[in-house]
Structure 1
Amino acid sequence: MGKRTDTRERTLRTAATLFRTQGYHGTGLNQVLAEGGLPKGSLYFHFPGGKEQLAAEAVALGAGELCDWVSAILDAAPDPGAGLDAVIQGLAEHLTASDFNLGCPIGTVAPDGGDLVRDACVSAFGAWQDVVREYLAGQGVSDPDEVATTLLAALEGAQLLARTRRDTAPLYAVGKTMRTLLKGR
């Protein structure tokens, strides 16, 4: 039983990385198997729903890790501006360390999958927004849901621009503008 769990985990992590770098349509199941060193029959054994199920679970895995990471950063921040700065710095470092190959674990898959993938992305973005909203509410920020939505949209767009341009400047520009927004709240 342990070996099956290891194979399932390796399949999921390999797929998550490939989806983050290549998107949904750019990632093939044979590539997932080859890059993960996985037996051919393992994919449908562990993911009977095929690519859709694999992508949806990969999004959930990546989103969970992202939410935990953001939550830890915000919990350690003395104020919302410092929290935002730390998240942006971390995103910039992550993009740079991956040579701009690893995009958002949600955003790179969101526009391309079917209903199962879309539902996983909706849930994942919702979880990320919840983490930010709860933090902002705890910090006394007015309209925390509206501000969390704005921050999430701005950060997601900044990541896409940064990855496309291979330059972290969009992240820092968004940070500067969003810091002004937070000061007014």
Structure 2
Amino acid sequence: MGNTKERILAASAELFRRNGYTGTGLKQIVSEASAPFGSLYHFFPGGKEQLAEEVIRTSGMEYAKLFDLLIAPAPDLVTGLEQAFAAAAVTLRETDYADACPIATVALEVASTNDTLRRATADVFGAWISTGTAAFTRFGLTEDASRRLTIAVITSLEGAFVLSRSLRDVEPLAVAGEAAVAMARELAAASGSGR
């Protein structure tokens, strides 16, 4: 089951994703992690804020890998985007709409109240934009077009997660995916890549 620190990080990531930062208590985290309460402060002397910052940075970078896992291997950009949005819909349905994006969940809560965590979420979103831009450039889009598409995909996914969780329906993900695909086709045509 991993060492105590890894268990605390994994439990925190899941709880933050499902309940948000303020909706997750330290006792709940150590209980989920099967860890002694004192171990939390041993590994995270800064308490919940330090723990949350590490969770945001580590799990955020795991999510960045989805560009390379879901989109990059696709035969073309449109197929990659369709597969990514379809995979997100499957995850939401399989988790009864509980598992969306842990970064966005926390970012919405802390953007105006906690600058340490706001910076951590900003750094993660920045890394996602860089990763997505590089992935889309490999399909023949210009760097500017790739960056614009990446930002559109991220904002579409995040917004669709909010609506889908609230409505308990994946229709918003399907619509967001269609919009991302339409934008990708338009940018590909403009850049002459056609892929």
Task: Please classify the TM superposition score into its range, dividing by the shorter chain length.
Answer: over 0.9
> Is 1:79 aligned to residue 76 of structure 2?
yes
Q: What residue is the counterpart of 1:109 in the other structure?
A: 106
Cα deviations across residues 72-131 of structure 1 (Å, max 9, x unaligned)?
Answer: 111211111111111111111111111111120211111223222111111111111212
Q: What residue is the counterpart of 1:43 in the other structure?
A: 40
- Return the letter of the residue paired with 1:123: D
Unpaired runs of 5+ in structure 2?
188-195
Unpaired runs of 5+ in structure 1?
none
**What is the TM-score of this pair, normalised by structure 2?**
0.88
Decide whether the 8 Å contact of 1:111 with 1:118 is kept in 2: no
- Return the letter of the residue paired with 1:155: L
The alignment yields a C-alpha RMSD, in angstroms, of: 1.5
Q: What residue is the counterpart of 1:154 in the other structure?
A: 156
Report the alpha carbon displacement of residue 70 of structure 1 after superposing the two structures with TM.
2.7
**Cα separation, 2, equivalents of 1:172 and 1:135:** 22
Of 93, 97, 113, which residue of structure 2 is paired with 1:96? 93
Decide whether the 8 Å contact of 2:20 with 2:106 is kept in 1: yes
- Return the letter of the residue paired with 2:61: G
- Return the letter of the residue paired with 1:178: A
Cα deviations across residues 58-83 of structure 1 (Å, max 9, x unaligned)?
Answer: 11222122112331111211111111
Q: How many residues end up aligned between the 2 structures?
A: 182
Q: What residue is the counterpart of 1:138 in the other structure?
A: 138
Decide whether the 8 Å contact of 1:88 with 1:175 is kept in 2: yes
**Cα separation, 1, equivalents of 2:183 and 2:3:** 45
Report the alpha carbon displacement of residue 18 of structure 1 after superposing the two structures with TM.
0.2
Report the alpha carbon displacement of residue 51 of structure 1 after superposing the two structures with TM.
0.7
Q: What residue is the counterpart of 1:11 in the other structure?
A: 8
Cα deviations across residues 134-167 of structure 1 (Å, max 9, x unaligned)?
Answer: 1111212242112211121111111111111111
State percent identity of aligned pairs: 36
Q: Which moved more, 1:154-163 or 1:139-148?
A: 139-148
Task: State the secondary structure of the residue aligned to 2:176.
Answer: helix
Task: State the secondary structure of the residue aligned to 1:181.
Answer: helix
**What is the TM-score of this pair, normalised by structure 1?**
0.93
Task: State the secondary structure of the residue aligned to 2:102.
Answer: coil
Q: Which portions of structure 1, spanning 4 or more consecutive aligned residues, are displaced by more than 6 angstroms? A: none
**Cα separation, 2, equivalents of 1:127 and 1:158:** 21
